[in-house]
Amino acid sequence: MKYLPLALASGILAVTLCVTACNKSAESQRSRDAELAKAVFKAMASKGRREAHWLEEVKIQDGRIVQLERRAAMIGDTLLNPTGGRLDGTEFVYRPLNAKWKSAPRTAGWVLAFDIVDGVPYAVIDRAGWEYCRDHGPDSYDVTLLKWANGAWIRMPEAAFPLSRLTQNVSMDYWGNTAEKDASGVMTWQAKAGKDFYPLGEPQRLMDWLNQRRRKCGQTLPHLFASERDASH
């Protein structure tokens, strides 16, 4: 029987042990990397919840400034984009008439306008829903039109609503980069008017705002009216 020289055998053994150790080290590193990736992904995907409470000055169509008590909630906060969540409910109160409005659970409810016309409060909420659009046609605006009457908000058709007199006067800019920078205290009209939100210091006519953003039912929900368009061609 022939034997390898002692030096050569020792070298082979050392290489074998090194390869085994390196493989184990690489596997351990891959395992650590996988655990780190899972932890980062979990943190990024985790859903936090933030709420903001503030008083907001609103300039209405007759030039007066009134105040709304407002609250909004956001979920879906992430490490990389703290303002990238989605609105998860909002509400406001006009205290002189105790006119309260609150969005349905787990809905956005972006408030676009609040006004008082001939002593009656009106509000406009973004999106009307596919049923409203289906029933009122493609040329109707995809917004919810509300009138305060007998202690409750009543949904109104566009023909009976003073839409042309209203402006986009309610802030949609109330989330900061951190919770500490979210809206709080009093949001004055001057602070709102000084932002790009009101570039000319005045709110924009609501119908102009809606038209610029293509907010008619036929534009936001074109599939509802596809058969009508096909029939007209």
Q: What's CA 153's distance to the chain center, in Å?
A: 23
Q: What type of residue sits at position 98? A: N
Report whether pLDDT(16) > 80. Answer: no
C-alpha closest to that of 169 among 228, 217, 112: 112
- Strand pairing category for 120-126 and 65-75: unpaired
What's the pTM value of the predicted model, to 2 decimals? 0.75
Beta strands in the chain (DSSP E): 49-59, 65-75, 86-94, 99-102, 111-117, 120-126, 143-149, 152-155, 186-187
- Alpha-carbon distance of 127 to 125, in angstroms, equals 6
Positive or negative, the Cα torsion across 133, 138, 143, 147? negative
pLDDT digits (tens, 9 = 90+) for 41-89: 444 444 578 899 999 999 999 999 999 999 999 886 544 455 557 788 8
Q: How many CA atoms lie within 13 A of 230 on its CB side?
A: 6
Query: What is the pLDDT averaged over residues 115-121?
Result: 96
Query: Which of 13-17, 104-108, 114-118, 226-230 is the most confident on average?
Result: 114-118
**What are phi and psi for residue 80, nearest 5 degrees?**
-85, -25
196 CB neighbour count, 10 Å cutoff: 6
pLDDT digits (tens, 9 = 90+) for 155-199: 999 999 999 999 999 999 888 888 889 999 999 998 888 776 676
Q: What is the three-class DSSP state of 225?
A: helix
